[in-house]
Amino acid sequence: MRYALFVGCTIPNRFPGVENATRLILGPDHLGVELVTINEFTCCPALPTFYSTDRVTWLVTAARNLVLVQDKNADLVTMCNGCFSSLLKATEELQNVNKCNLVNDALSTVGKQYRGRLARVEGHRNFYEPVRVRHIIEALYTDYGKEGIASKVRHPLEGLRIAVHNGCHFLRPTTKTSVDDPAKPVMLDTLVEATGATSVDFVDKQACCGAGGGIRLQVPKLANAITKDKYECINAVGADAIVTGCPYCLFQFDHAQKDLKVHPIPVVHISQLLALAFGIDPEHLGFEWHFVAVRPFLKKVDATGVA
């Protein structure tokens, strides 16, 4: 497997430990993915802002990111639901010839052209397919599966109760494409249980974190009220931690708990949870950047059995 990691904006600015955790679990000491480094990536850009106000700028910016990976023979893999949704939607839009031509007119000013990924060659003709955009959850679930992930676990997280939060843009990334069942998703739960932990069921499991659609930016009190409803459902089942595949959902659960002054439940990214199960030192995972202290959860991790 060859992955070109797209880190986006929220991860390097708020949770750099998520990127480090992802690189560590994918690296040669663990899953052995060949990682392609592309330093020229920019903002995805986010759908609730750019797409809602200037769709041409959104598509040109997204297409420029796709151009950077189209000749690398690698899948573009993101650790963020918003980046996943934006870039995946862009690949769909760019299949429209008129939109693609419009985008390439703009990209030509910086010497770039979106063609897509070379699929096959027949005689003198090249045939292209859209750049493959994937979420880290889907990539790990599909490329390795529960058994493949479990085989890399060195510190089983048995006895820990994890509340999974999928997030809206992972379950419903575009109107044309889905990667998991939006009503009964299994991918993130499966990855959690591959660590030995238990993915607990709870009321309104697929509800929004509260931050989606720009709500947090425009009406923070409403965002926190939505978060509180979901937090109470999670707290009711005695979860030891909340695990998500989206840094913005992570930020909302993490920050809102401080605002709401509730009993804290640590929030971590799936890459960080897998890193703990793989036996990676927590000091490399950036937990000091989280608002809700993760150390009580780490003590519970230490108390679990070692393979």
User: According to the model, what pLDDT value does residue 306 have?
Assistant: 52
Residue 135, Cβ density class (10 Å: 0-12 exposed, 13-18 middle, ≥19 buried): buried
CA dihedral 48→105→3→92, nearest 10 degrees, is 60
Query: In this predicted model, what pLDDT tens digit does every residue of 55-87 receive, in sequence order?
Result: 999 999 999 999 999 999 999 999 999 999 999
User: According to the model, what pLDDT value does residue 194 have?
Assistant: 98
User: According to the model, what pLDDT value does residue 307 have?
Assistant: 46
Whole-angstrom distance, CA of residue 306 vs CA of residue 277: 9
User: Helix or strand or coil: residue 110?
Assistant: helix
210 in the Ramachandran plot: left (φ > 0), alpha (ψ -120 to 50) or beta?
Answer: left
Contact in structure between 276 and 155 (CB atoms under 8 Å): yes
User: According to the model, what pLDDT value does residue 38 have?
Assistant: 96
Whole-angstrom distance, CA of residue 276 vs CA of residue 303: 12
User: According to the model, what pLDDT value does residue 51 have?
Assistant: 80
Pairing of strands 161-165, 241-244: parallel
pTM for the model stands at: 0.96
**Domains identified in the chain and CATH numbers:** 2-134 (1.20.1050.140), 149-303 (3.40.50.11810)
Q: Please identify every stretch of the chain with a pLDDT value under 50, giving residue numbers as ranges.
A: 307
